[in-house]
Structure 1
Amino acid sequence: MGVLQNLKLWENNVTFIDENGEMVTKKMPRVAPAAPWKVVGLLTLENWIFFIVGLGAWTADGYDFNAVNLVVTDLSVKFDKSLNAITLSITLTLLFRSLGAFIIGLLSDMFGRKWVMSINLWVLAVLQIGTAFCPNYGAFIGVRSLFGIAMGGIWGLAAALALENMPVDARGLFSGILQQGYSIGYLIAAVMNLAVVPKSPQGYKAIFFIGAGFTAFWAIVVMLIPESRIYRKQDLGEEAQHSMKKRTSLFLKDAKLAAVQYWKMFIYCVVLSSAFNWQSHGSQDMYVTFIKVQKGFDNYTASLLTILGQCGAVVGGAICGYYSQFFGRRLTVVAAVSFGLALIPLWTLPNDWRVLAVGVFFLQAANNGSWGVMPVLLNEYAPPQFRGVFPGTVYQVGNMVSAPAAQIQTVAATHWIKHGRPNYSQVMQIVLCIVFATVGIVTACGQERTGSHFELVSRAGAVHDGKAKEIELDEEAAMEMDGKTGSSHHENAKAVEEQ
């Protein structure tokens, strides 16, 4: 890994799986991406089905998590607890997500995406209903902890399902759109909180009932689609005759090999995901509370600002995802967080809600612009046979590290009183300055793997001619290749043509 590998504007140094399924490192001159409508035109009907299902599942997940953030004050009154006590549920949800990501991710890598994801979504729907009917604070905390385990499995499965069935040249754009499922879910939850909750006889509970129905809908849709291609095409012939014991043995063999080869990459991705998740939760979890408590706006204005911010997030994610095919994943992230740093004062300091609206729109565009690269980036970094468990686990371990974000900001703000109110503004500014800078630095220190054909590698435990196929990445050899210079123009042109 190294900062100089791909922060140059005129060429990419890329370590990737080529069309032959081999891991290679090449110098690649930058080639302008096709027009967005041409990229969209690359998708077949089946590509669209898998992408829409992945996006829908992640959107439901984003709704379900943020439903609590939007009704923190209502829950505080219901259970007669402080805001600090209610935000503990957010912390616990984030803490338990890594356990779910590991268990559910492993199951999906072994048995396929379809049924594992469907069952996972049904459990989430039931727990949303359970949240609404919690009789006391203890039950509420317990349900949200279980919710964290179930929620942990969705992101890894959604990203794997969508991207492993996606044309390589379209992955940047659709990664950016896919990641905004979280923002779209937050947006839908904010609209429901604005339009439905105040009129519902169920009060704040309505937001959880709607979430349960929305999640159950996607659980049904997943049951009706075909299995991901990588699992369909390898259940024939000799492999189908192996006993479950034999298949499990082969799967574990591949898992051990991946653990030996990728443990350094795992640690790097955990650090990267931790920084990214602090960026996300530091900018979003307490924003509604900040607008209501410190700025003094009503629920309508707070929800409106949240909606505008998530609209900016969707726009930023799509734009940055698209251009990551040209600039590379890492340089795109660095540019996005640099833009975000410049916008922090506009995001928190103004007292006019219209100026705050401009700030939150563009800051969330920068925040989720960098995030839009993450699904494809982590899938390119992952062991190709374990793209269910690896990206999902590192993502959720990063969530676990960022779990105290809401509580830390709440405690710091309540102990830093300004004009008789908690100083969320100053606390959020400090947090965002630190995490934006950290995300840029950590991302710059990684590898570039844009265009990797990870879909060509057989799933874990697959058998070909009596043995499992393996992909091995020699990190030291790759770094030596990164340092070599003087490739001829002919070789570079040929590399572009081959990719």
Structure 2
Amino acid sequence: MGVLQNLRLWENNVTQINEYGEKVTTKVPRRMPPNPWRILRLLSAKSYGYFFIGIAAWTADGYDFNSVNLVTTQLSAKYGASLPQITLSITLTLLFRPLGAMLLGMASDMWGRKWPLAINMWILAVLQIGTAYANTYAAFIGVRALFGIAMGGIWGLAAAMAMENMPTEARGLFSGILQQGYSIGYLLAAVVNITAVPNTSEGYKAIFHVGAGFSALVGLIQIFVPESNIFVDGGDEPRVSQAVRIRMFVKDLRLVCKQYWRMFLYCILLCTAFNWMSHGAQDMYSTYMKLGKGFNNTDASRATIVGQVGAVVGGTICGYYSQFLGRRLTVVLACCFGLAIIPLWSLPTAWGPLAAGNFFLQSAVNGAWGVMPVLLNEYAPPQFRGAFPGTVYQIGNMISAPAAEIQTHAATAWIKDGRPNYGQVMTITLCIVFGLVAVITACGQERLGSHFELVKRAGAEENIVREMAEMGMGKEDLGGAKHVEVVGDKV
């Protein structure tokens, strides 16, 4: 890894899995990706089905998480708790996500994407109802902690299902679109906050009712989507007992841990910086507009909607051009643009310029994020794309968990013109994290166009043999992998 792998404009120095399933490093000239409309035609109906369920699940996640962010003041009044106490629920949700990512990711790598994702969505629906009707502050905090475990499993499974079932040429564009599911969810939550929350007898609970119904619906639709292609047994794949499959899975996992531990740590660092960037710009934005700039709930939510529209636009554009610029250079350019926009985002006092600043700043934040689904799938051990991307992403979330709470404490302790100084605090945060994201990303590898879908599912014997060969181990060391039970007429 290193900056010198290059960020040059005329070519990419790429380490990838080629079309023969071999890991190679080669220079790849930059070529403009096909016209977006042509890319849309590359996908089959089945590929669109996988992508749809992936973005729908991630949209539900974005809605569910940001529901609390949009009604912090109402929750504070309900429980008689301070804003920092309410934002503790955001911190706890982020802290518990890695556990869900690891458990659900392992389950999906072992048994497939379909049922782990569907069951997880139904659990989320139940916990949304629990959030709405928690009678005490302690119960509310407990439900949100459990919510974090359930939410942790969404992103890794959604990204893996979407990315592994589409052509490599389309992954940049669809990665950018997929990641915007979070922003679309945030946007939908803001719309519900404007329309339903003030106009129903349920008040703030309405935002959680809608989220519960949305999550349950996604889980229901998942039943009708086929299992991901790599988990559909081919005619040449041996059928083995469950006990043997588990032993092979564990052996594969151990070998991958020996090979990828450095990449694992690097991706945690990368995801920590990325999550600080998004949480620093988004979690307290509604509160910043209300308490820092003096706008009412409706105007704050409208500015949030404008920002999330910008996020969708920026993420889609950057995802598309990452096929030309490479994943890393795209992120670096998005961060530079974000730094340039910060004054427009924080200095004005009128709603219009602030909303415009939020549009462009969120387009930069999510422009960088638009690369992340495909980038982490390219960095991951190819047979553990359910567990690896989701786990490093959510550990990064966990480390950045105090972002909202830190910003709230700092702003409330730094009064300016009689108001908490959210603008200054959030500006300082973003200046730091945009720089960190650019530097850390530049120090990674370029793996543009990697054919990770060609690698067999976790626990396949050919994976284990290949990994041992790469580590200089002989096939005689295969051990348990040779103890395959006979089922029917296959070994």
Q: TM exceeds 0.5?
A: yes
Matched, 1:282 2:280: yes
Q: CA deviation at 1:5?
A: 1.2
Q: CA deviation at 1:471?
A: 4.8
Q: CA deviation at 1:151?
A: 0.2
Q: CA deviation at 1:226?
A: 0.5
- What residue in structure 2 maps to residue 470 of structure 1? 466
Distance in 1 separating the partners of 2:416 and 2:469: 54
* Superposed CA RMSD: 1.4
Q: CA deviation at 1:237?
A: 6.2
Q: CA deviation at 1:244?
A: 1.1
The alignment partner of 2:223 has SS state of helix
The alignment partner of 1:250 has SS state of helix
CA contact (8 A) 2:314 2:364 kept: yes
Distance in 2 separating the partners of 1:97 and 1:239: 35
Distance in 1 separating the partners of 2:283 and 2:262: 31
The AA in structure 2 aligned to 1:246 is: V
The alignment partner of 2:14 has SS state of strand
- What residue in structure 2 maps to residue 239 of structure 1? 238
CA contact (8 A) 2:251 2:464 kept: no
- What residue in structure 1 maps to residue 65 of structure 2? 65
- What residue in structure 1 maps to residue 326 of structure 2? 328
Residue by residue over 1:423-475, the C-alpha shift from the partner in whole angstroms, topping out at 9 and shown as x without a partner, is 000000000000000000000000000000000000111246xx855357969
The AA in structure 1 aligned to 2:328 is: R
The residue correspondences of 1:439-478 to structure 2 (distance < 5 A) are 439-463=437-461, 468=464, 470-471=466-467
Distance in 2 separating the partners of 1:143 and 1:208: 13
CA contact (8 A) 1:462 1:469 kept: no
CA contact (8 A) 2:414 2:421 kept: yes
CA contact (8 A) 1:350 1:356 kept: yes
Distance in 2 separating the partners of 1:326 and 1:340: 21
Distance in 2 separating the partners of 1:469 and 1:202: 59
Residue by residue over 1:317-336, the C-alpha shift from the partner in whole angstroms, topping out at 9 and shown as x without a partner, is 00000000000000000000
Distance in 2 separating the partners of 1:78 and 1:31: 56
- What residue in structure 2 maps to residue 256 of structure 1? 254
The verdict on how the C-alpha distance between 1:370 and 1:472 changes in structure 2, with shifts beyond 3 A counting, is: farther
- What residue in structure 2 maps to residue 131 of structure 1? 131
Q: CA deviation at 1:31?
A: 1.1
Residue by residue over 1:2-44, the C-alpha shift from the partner in whole angstroms, topping out at 9 and shown as x without a partner, is 1021300001100000000000000111111111111111011
- What residue in structure 1 maps to residue 162 of structure 2? 162
Q: CA deviation at 1:349?
A: 1.1
CA contact (8 A) 2:255 2:467 kept: no
The alignment partner of 2:15 has SS state of strand
- What residue in structure 2 maps to residue 102 of structure 1? 102
Matched, 1:175 2:171: no
The AA in structure 2 aligned to 1:406 is: A
The AA in structure 2 aligned to 1:210 is: V
The alignment partner of 1:385 has SS state of helix
User: Where does structure 1 lack aligned partners over 5 or more consecutive residues?
Assistant: 476-499
1:339 pairs with 332, 337, 345, which one? Answer: 337
CA contact (8 A) 1:316 1:365 kept: yes
- What residue in structure 2 maps to residue 433 of structure 1? 431
The verdict on how the C-alpha distance between 1:471 and 1:55 changes in structure 2, with shifts beyond 3 A counting, is: farther
The AA in structure 2 aligned to 1:442 is: I
Q: CA deviation at 1:239?
A: 2.9
CA contact (8 A) 1:60 1:214 kept: yes
- What residue in structure 2 maps to residue 480 of structure 1? none
Number of residue pairs matched by the alignment = 472
- What residue in structure 1 maps to residue 222 of structure 2? 222
Matched, 1:410 2:408: yes
Distance in 1 separating the partners of 2:379 and 2:282: 27
The AA in structure 1 aligned to 2:29 is: P
Q: Which runs of 4+ in 1 moved over 3 A?
A: 467-475
CA contact (8 A) 1:23 1:471 kept: no
Distance in 1 separating the partners of 2:2 and 2:466: 26
TM-score, L = length of structure 1: 0.93
The AA in structure 1 aligned to 2:5 is: Q
Distance in 1 separating the partners of 2:184 and 2:469: 36
The AA in structure 2 aligned to 1:147 is: F
The alignment partner of 2:459 has SS state of coil
The AA in structure 1 aligned to 2:349 is: N
Q: CA deviation at 1:180?
A: 0.3
The verdict on how the C-alpha distance between 1:184 and 1:21 changes in structure 2, with shifts beyond 3 A counting, is: same
- What residue in structure 1 maps to residue 195 of structure 2? 195
- What residue in structure 2 maps to residue 491 of structure 1? none
> Percent of aligned positions with the same letter in both sequences?
65
Residue by residue over 1:323-361, the C-alpha shift from the partner in whole angstroms, topping out at 9 and shown as x without a partner, is 000000000000000000011111111001000011000
TM-score, L = length of structure 2: 0.94
CA contact (8 A) 1:23 1:473 kept: no
The AA in structure 1 aligned to 2:372 is: M
Distance in 2 separating the partners of 1:469 and 1:210: 49
- What residue in structure 2 maps to residue 390 of structure 1? 388
- What residue in structure 2 maps to residue 486 of structure 1? none
Matched, 1:33 2:33: yes
Distance in 2 separating the partners of 1:29 and 1:115: 41
The AA in structure 2 aligned to 1:131 is: T
- What residue in structure 1 maps to residue 481 of structure 2? none
Distance in 2 separating the partners of 1:223 and 1:349: 49
The alignment partner of 1:448 has SS state of coil
- What residue in structure 1 maps to residue 206 of structure 2? 206
Distance in 2 separating the partners of 1:157 and 1:215: 15
- What residue in structure 2 maps to residue 485 of structure 1? none
The alignment partner of 2:187 has SS state of helix
1:299 pairs with 286, 297, 300, which one? Answer: 297
CA contact (8 A) 2:165 2:229 kept: yes
- What residue in structure 1 maps to residue 484 of structure 2? none
Distance in 2 separating the partners of 1:331 and 1:4: 12
Distance in 2 separating the partners of 1:183 and 1:29: 33
Distance in 1 separating the partners of 2:293 and 2:46: 48
The AA in structure 2 aligned to 1:417 is: I
Distance in 2 separating the partners of 1:268 and 1:108: 23
Matched, 1:140 2:151: no
- What residue in structure 2 maps to residue 479 of structure 1? none
